[in-house]
A and B are shown apart, each in its own frame.
Chain A
């Protein structure tokens, strides 16, 4: 199984809402990532979890809060987002020496 799943596929939320994005992988990978991607741009790294611990936070605003409940699951909690946070949010996982990442299909987030 080389699949990374993400839910929901689409999300529309107001600036006062609280929502969560979920990501799951069953490949035994020990590193998991959140990326933000704007249209026609490359993915921008947000967070990296290694062995269920936050190892990299790319100076992401606190309105984004990651959580790694176990080695297979990764959540991204959203609160008080801004319209400019609208983007495709991608989850990825990796294992091994060569930095290969396996991506989920993404969550298309729209903040109104």
Chain B
């Protein structure tokens, strides 16, 4: 069974602070996505990383895929209240039947206080 552990589970910070969320596994993934979800809504795709060592930036958000494609991190600079939400990483792979499968991480609940 593939597992993706995220840390921290919960994070409450003041507006303007920086933070990093980690997503770790012992399994190799073909790609890794990060999503943000607000209460009562579906997850919204933020980014996909596919190459080991890849770094992608989306405004104040920086995403990195580990060299071995087993882990990833999300760094937010100068957090804003609008960044509040549940952050989910998700790893893509193929199951024993050859079908695409996505494994979601355990989630990080971020609260940014004005």
Q: Which residues of A contact B (CB under 8 A)?
A: 4, 31, 40-43, 45, 48, 50, 55-56, 88, 90, 92, 94, 97-106, 108
B31 close to A99 (CB less than 8 A)? yes
User: When the two chains form the complex, which single residue of A4, A41, A101 contacts B102, counting CB atoms closer than 8 Å?
Assistant: A101
The reply to whether B43 and A43 contact each other, CB–CB distance below 8 Å, is: yes
Is the contact region of chain B dominated by helix, strand, or loop, or is it mixed?
Answer: strand
CB of A69 to closest CB in B, whole Å: 21
Could you list which residues of chain B lie within 8 angstroms of chain A, going by C-beta atoms?
30-31, 33, 35, 40-45, 48, 50, 86, 88, 90, 92, 95, 97, 99-102, 104-107, 109
Q: A31-B100, A50-B99, A99-B33 are in contact. Are A105 and B42 (CB under 8 A)?
A: yes
User: Chain A nearest CB: distance from B21 CB in Å?
Assistant: 13
In the complex, which residues of chain A have a beta carbon less than 8 angstroms from the beta carbon of B40? 88, 106, 108
Q: Which of B31, B42, B92, B102 has the most CB of A within 10 A?
A: B42
Closest to A103 in B: B42
- Residues in B neighbouring A48, C-beta threshold 8 A: 99-101
Distance in angstroms from B48 CB to nearest chain A CB is 5
Q: How far is the CB of B74 from chain A (nearest CB, A)?
A: 15
